[in-house]
Amino acid sequence: MTGPPRIDVVILTWNDGDLLAQAIDSALASEGVDVRVIVVDNGSDPAATVPAEDRVRLIRNDANRGVAPARNQGARAGQAEFVCLLDSDARLLPGSLLALVAPLRQDGRVALAGPVFTGQAPEASAGRAPTLARKAGRLLGRYDTYAPIPHAPGAPWWPVDFTIGACQLIRRCAFQAVGGLDDSIFYGPEDVDFCLRLMDGGWAVVQVAGAGCHHPPRRTSRRIVTKRAWKHGWQVVRHLWRHRNPVVGVRHGAS
């Protein structure tokens, strides 16, 4: 394989203001890769704007379609070999994408790679698939990390069950093979579900030590009486039922 890897960076936005511009700029400043940015505006008011740049495309939705449907929309609008799903409040470092694509270019079984976010433990954004007990513990503020999967010290990357959707670098053919994200999931846990479906399809998911990416830590507690929280909770229950007989724990030696 010759030439810089081609990557479509899909950024979903909904009333994100200046954060969106920072995310776009960080993607365009990537080194060693050929980047195109696809912004999906999920019904922002006022409507999102993007720089007048040939490498940036804007797709506007009249209403908020939800995270999974809109990210699928953005991914399917591109043609690059690799797709990066990036949160609007995340900022790539110049070498982030090149580091993330390395395991996918070196091992054809790897479908998805996620970074270790700047200033955070690896387990803050990846690890074993969350159980009901772990999700409850995060809701109550008992945990701010996921259960880790042991790996060799100093490894450049290692297998995990999932990485969070704030920054995921995906092989397009693998994305297509599993049908993308689950369109029926409006918000969470579409990222975990996607990774587990990739693994069920025989692909590998990894976390990359040296990729780097700025993203605020996930909160350990949320208000649980809001309509959005209840919708999210239902999606979590549905997800846990779907993956009630996982194969990933066996692959990683979970008990």
User: pLDDT tens, 166-206?
Assistant: 999 999 999 999 999 999 998 778 999 999 999 999 999 99
- Residue 137 is predicted with a pLDDT of 46
The region of weakest confidence among 54-58, 110-114, 126-130 is 126-130
- Determine the pLDDT at residue 141: 53
pTM across the whole model = 0.84
Q: What tokens appear for 231 in the block?
A: 């919708």
Please tell me the predicted confidence (pLDDT) of residue 219.
Answer: 55
CA distances to 21, 119, 195 from 170, in Å: 23, 23, 10
- Calculate mean pLDDT across residues 233-251: 49
Measure CA of the first residue to CA of the last residue in the chain; give whole Å.
40
**Is 90 exceeded by the pLDDT of residue 109?**
yes
Instruction: State the pLDDT at residue 239.
Output: 46
Under a CB-based contact definition with an 8 Å cutoff, are residues 18 and 47 in contact?
no
CA distance 168 to 244: 24
Domains assigned to the chain: 6-251 (3.90.550.10)
Q: Which range is least confidently modeled, 62-66, 118-122, 220-224?
A: 220-224
Tell me which of 142 and 59 has the higher pLDDT.
59
